[in-house]
Structure formats: structure tokens, C-alpha cells
């Protein structure tokens, strides 16, 4: 098999960051504008609604597992997601837009003491590498306030306040060329414009402006 055949032909965009940063809003907006341009697009998220994703959600209310058990479940959930959804969509040339992916594992399970670089490498060994990650940055307290204001309780399943600061720091330290860090305090429209501009400068972006 040649390297070309191993490379997915589609384009993988991922939104990352702590909860309340605007990931879902921006992912939805982007999906709409990509579809309007006539590109086939799919939206998905992790954890998924499959068996392992459900076990993870249950564990948030019934008591957290050990960091290793949690890592194992997120990896299983992702392996299933890759096999059933992501790899086929990318192979079919689709633009895939995700809320959370393996940078969340590096930040959240990294914040619990597992080496983030090892987590990244373990994922990069089997999961398609994103063409572009948007890491939306926001002060954890402001993120919490947004979640509270939109009536979603007190925030992420796995995030107490102290933990949330650790996760934000872990996200801040991740180092990959495909990460663009964006200020999550910007307006929805400004953030969307910044996202489109970055994508249009990405050599692999199918909607790239030809100048
Ligand atoms: P979240 O995006 O809040 O999912 P949903 O809104 O669908 O319930 O993610 C759930 C929690 O899982 C959140 O606290 C982040 C955490 N998480 C990890 O700890 N590791 C991971 O690899 C992923 C994908 C998420």
C-alpha cells in the first residue's frame, strides 16, 4: 500500500477547549458554512453515544474511575468512533467536524497525572491526525459562568474548579503544529471569521481561496 492510500482524503477539523468556550456553537456554524459551499460534511463528537461513551457519562455521576481506567475507556470509545465514523467519512472525502478528540484526552487525563505527550503519541498511532484543531481559550471561571447562564447546571462532567484550572493549563501546554489557539472571549461572529481565515490558509482545505 502506498503512503497516499493510507492518507485520508477528507479534512478533519476539531474544536477543543474546556466546556463553555463555544466549541459546539462554532462547530455548528462551520458545518453550516461548509455545507453551503457544497462540500459534504459530517458533525460528530466525543465522547460518543456508544457503549464506552455511555459508560464514561455514567461514571461521572456514579464516581470517577482511576485515571488509567478512564484513559482506557476514552481510547476504546475513540477506536470505535474512528472505525465506524471518522475513517469512512475521511476516506469518502468528507469534511469532518468534531467537538473534542484526542487533545481532550491529553488535557483531561493528563491533568490526572498521565503524561500528555504519551497520550498524544498513543492516539496519533491509530487515530487520524487532525488537519486543523481550534483550541478555544477562556478563563475557567468565565467558562463556568457561561454554562451556568445557559442553564446547563455547573459544567463539565469531570470538572471541579481546581481540576478545571489543571485541565486549562494542560491544554495550554500541548504542542502540535495543527493547533490554532483562539481567544474564546471574542464574539461568535468574530471567532467564526477567524476560523474561516485560518482554514482558507490551510493548504489542504477544500474551500481554499485561490489567489
Ligand atoms: P463533553 O464534551 O462535556 O460531552 P457531553 O456534553 O456530550 O456530555 O465531554 C464530557 C467530559 O469528558 C468532559 O468533562 C471532557 C471529558 N473528556 C475527557 O476527559 N477525555 C476525553 O478524551 C474526552 C473526549 C472528553
pLDDT band for 8, please (50, 70, 90 cuts): low
Mean pLDDT, residues 22-45 taken together: 96
CA of 146 to the centre of ligand 1 (A): 17
Ligand 1 centroid–CA 46 distance in Å is: 6
Neighbouring CB atoms inside 10 A of 177's CB total 6
Q: Whose C-alpha lies nearest to ligand 1, atom 20?
A: 105
- Alpha carbon distance 144, 125 (integer Å): 34
For the chain, percent of residues with pLDDT exceeding 90: 75
What confidence tier does 158 reach under pLDDT thresholds 50, 70, 90? Answer: low
Cβ–ligand 1 contact at 46 (below 6 Å):
yes
- Residue closest to 187 by CA, chosen among 16, 29, 17: 29
**In this predicted model, what pLDDT tens digit does every residue of 36-70 receive, in sequence order?**
999 999 999 999 999 999 999 888 777 889 999 99
The Å distance, Cα 156 to ligand 1 centre, comes to 7
* CATH homologous superfamily for the domain 4-200: P-loop containing nucleotide triphosphate hydrolases (3.40.50.300)
Question: Residue 81: CB within 6 Å of ligand 1?
Answer: no
Residue with CA closest to ligand 1 atom 21 = 105
Phi/psi for 13 (5° steps) reads -110, 135
Question: What pLDDT score was predicted for residue 3?
Answer: 47
Q: How far is the CA of 47 from the centre of ligand 1 (A)?
A: 6
Ligand 1 neighbourhood includes 105 CB (under 6 angstroms): yes
Say if residues 27 and 99 touch (Cβ distance below 8 Å). Answer: yes
Question: For the chain, what are the domain ranges?
Answer: 4-200
Amino acid at each position: 500500500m502506498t503512503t497516499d492510500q493510507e492518507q485520508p482524503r477528507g479534512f478533519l477539523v476539531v474544536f477543543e477547549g474546556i466546556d463553555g468556550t463555544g466549541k459546539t456553537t462554532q462547530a455548528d456554524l462551520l458545518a453550516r458554512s461548509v455545507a453551503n459551499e457544497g462540500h459534504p460534511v459530517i458533525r460528530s463528537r466525543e465522547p460518543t453515544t456508544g457503549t464506552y461513551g455511555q459508560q464514561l457519562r455514567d461514571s461521572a455521576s456514579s464516581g470517577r474511575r482511576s485515571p488509567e481506567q478512564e484513559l482506557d475507556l476514552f481510547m476504546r470509545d475513540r477506536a470505535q468512533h474512528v472505525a465506524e465514523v471518522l475513517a469512512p467519512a475521511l476516506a469518502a472525502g468528507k469534511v469532518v467536524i468534531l467537538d473534542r478528540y484526542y487533545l481532550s484526552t491529553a488535557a483531561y487525563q493528563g491533568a490526572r497525572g498521565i503524561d500528555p505527550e504519551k497520550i498524544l503519541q498513543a492516539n496519533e498511532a491509530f487515530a487520524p491526525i487532525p488537519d486543523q484543531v481550534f483550541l478555544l481559550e477562556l478563563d475557567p471561571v468565565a467558562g463556568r459562568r457561561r454554562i451556568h447562564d445557559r442553564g446547563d447546571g455547573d459544567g463539565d462532567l469531570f470538572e471541579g474548579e481546581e481540576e478545571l484550572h489543571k485541565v486549562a493549563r494542560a491544554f495550554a501546554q500541548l504542542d502540535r503544529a495543527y493547533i490554532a489557539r483562539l481567544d474564546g472571549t471574542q464574539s461568535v461572529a468574530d471567532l467564526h471569521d477567524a476560523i474561516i481565515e485560518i482554514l482558507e490558509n490551510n493548504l489542504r482545505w477544500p474551500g481554499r481561496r485561490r489567489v
